[in-house]
């Protein structure tokens, strides 16, 4: 198959799709370019090994190897990134995860959403879970629990993700409301409960995957370890 001419008939493998979905719940982004789409991955250089791991898993439909973006006059490195090839094979995922909004011409006209259809589409898959947590989660330092940053989503959307975690993995979470200042809109993140071995159950599901990426193991190390 010519990867330069990917169409809707090109299908991702189960693992490729799981990683893609985990990234879309986290830091990944699909960019719409006319009638074509491309997937974009970007992380700080401290997570270079994580970016390289993602690339190795997704390189079947990627253009180039990960590149480093230099920032500052001293040439200090700030980020590592790679993009997929453009094609319509990503259209269904863009439709699931994005909605059109009115913005200035210089900004994207789409923003992420978590619709009921999106949640129904998400499979029970520990690879998806691991990537989502490595993108947007971390263990707590004050107890044996964890958090997933979901503050870019509405309360209804976060509740849907909470339902997905419990229905598919029996992972119990609480929704935490917060503001960084008095004038800010209330945002929400998911706290993964530590009591009764709940966070341990969560980390046991993703640990075999996380241990493949040494630079990310800190994400699942609690204060007791």
Instruction: Say which CATH number the domain at 37 has.
Output: 3.10.28.10
pTM comes to 0.89
> Same domain, yes or no, for 84 and 132?
no
Q: How far is residue 169's CA from residue 153's CA, in Å, rounded to a whole number?
A: 21
> Same domain, yes or no, for 103 and 146?
no
Classify the C-alpha dihedral 14-46-113-64 as positive or negative: negative
% of the chain beyond a pLDDT of 90: 69
Kindly state whether residue 5 falls inside one of the protein's structural domains.
no
Greater confidence (104 vs 173) lies with: 173
Gyration radius from the chain CA atoms? 18
> Same domain, yes or no, for 70 and 45?
yes
> Same domain, yes or no, for 131 and 68?
no
Determine the pLDDT at residue 4: 40
Domain assignment of residue 184, given as a range: 120-220
Kindly state whether residue 142 falls inside one of the protein's structural domains.
yes
> Same domain, yes or no, for 26 and 107?
yes
222 has a pLDDT exceeding 80:
no
> Same domain, yes or no, for 100 and 52?
yes
Determine the pLDDT at residue 75: 54
> Same domain, yes or no, for 97 and 131?
no
5 has a pLDDT exceeding 70:
no
Kindly state whether residue 80 falls inside one of the protein's structural domains.
yes
Kindly state whether residue 199 falls inside one of the protein's structural domains.
yes
> Same domain, yes or no, for 104 and 166?
no
Kindly state whether residue 2 falls inside one of the protein's structural domains.
no
* 83 strand-pairing partners: 40
Determine the pLDDT at residue 108: 63
Question: Pick from 88, 119, 150: which residue ends a domain?
Answer: 119
Question: Pick from 70, 86, 119: which residue ends a domain?
Answer: 119
Q: What is the pLDDT of residues 160-215, one digit of tens each?
A: 999 999 999 999 999 998 887 776 788 899 999 888 889 999 999 999 999 999 99
Specify the number of domains making up the chain: 2
Q: How far is residue 106's CA from residue 124's CA, in Å, rounded to a whole number?
A: 38
* Nearest of 170, 109, 137, 107 to residue 25 by alpha carbon: 137
> Same domain, yes or no, for 125 and 196?
yes
> Same domain, yes or no, for 110 and 125?
no
Mean pLDDT, the chain, rounded, equals 88
Kindly state whether residue 4 falls inside one of the protein's structural domains.
no
CB 81 within 8 Å of CB 41: yes
% of the chain beyond a pLDDT of 70: 88
> Same domain, yes or no, for 76 and 166?
no
> Same domain, yes or no, for 21 and 114?
yes
Token pair recorded at residue 133: 């947590």
Question: Pick from 119, 139, 170: which residue ends a domain?
Answer: 119
3 has a pLDDT exceeding 70:
no
Q: What is the pLDDT of residues 80-96, one digit of tens each?
A: 999 999 999 999 999 99
Token pair recorded at residue 178: 């917060």
Kindly state whether residue 3 falls inside one of the protein's structural domains.
no
pLDDT, average across residues 120-141: 95
104 has a pLDDT exceeding 70:
no
Determine the pLDDT at residue 196: 85
Kindly state whether residue 1 falls inside one of the protein's structural domains.
no
Q: How far is residue 15's CA from residue 83's CA, in Å, rounded to a whole number?
A: 18
């Amino acid at each position: 198959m010519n990867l330069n001419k990917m169409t809707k008939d090109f299908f991702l493998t189960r693992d490729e799709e799981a990683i893609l979905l985990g990234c879309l719940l986290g830091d990944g982004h699909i960019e719409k370019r006319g009638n074509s789409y491309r997937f974009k991955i970007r992380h700080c250089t401290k997570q270079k090994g994580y970016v390289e791991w993602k690339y190795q898993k997704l390189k079947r439909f990627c253009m180039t190897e990960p590149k480093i973006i230099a920032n500052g006059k001293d040439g200090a490195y700030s980020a590592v990134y790679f993009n997929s090839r453009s094609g319509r094979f990503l259209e269904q995922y863009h439709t699931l995860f994005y909605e059109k909004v009115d913005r200035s011409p210089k900004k994207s006209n789409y923003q992420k959403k978590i619709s009921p259809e999106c949640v129904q589409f998400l499979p029970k898959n520990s690879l998806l879970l691991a990537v989502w947590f490595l993108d947007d989660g971390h263990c707590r330092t004050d107890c044996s629990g964890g958090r997933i940053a979901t503050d870019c989503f509405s309360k209804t959307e976060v509740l849907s993700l909470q339902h997905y975690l419990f229905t598919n993995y029996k992972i119990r979470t609480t929704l935490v409301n917060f503001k960084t200042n008095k004038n800010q809109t209330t945002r929400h993140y998911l706290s993964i409960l530590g009591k009764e071995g709940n966070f341990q159950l969560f980390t046991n599901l993703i640990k075999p995957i996380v241990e493949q990426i040494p630079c990310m193991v800190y994400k699942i190390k609690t204060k007791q370890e």
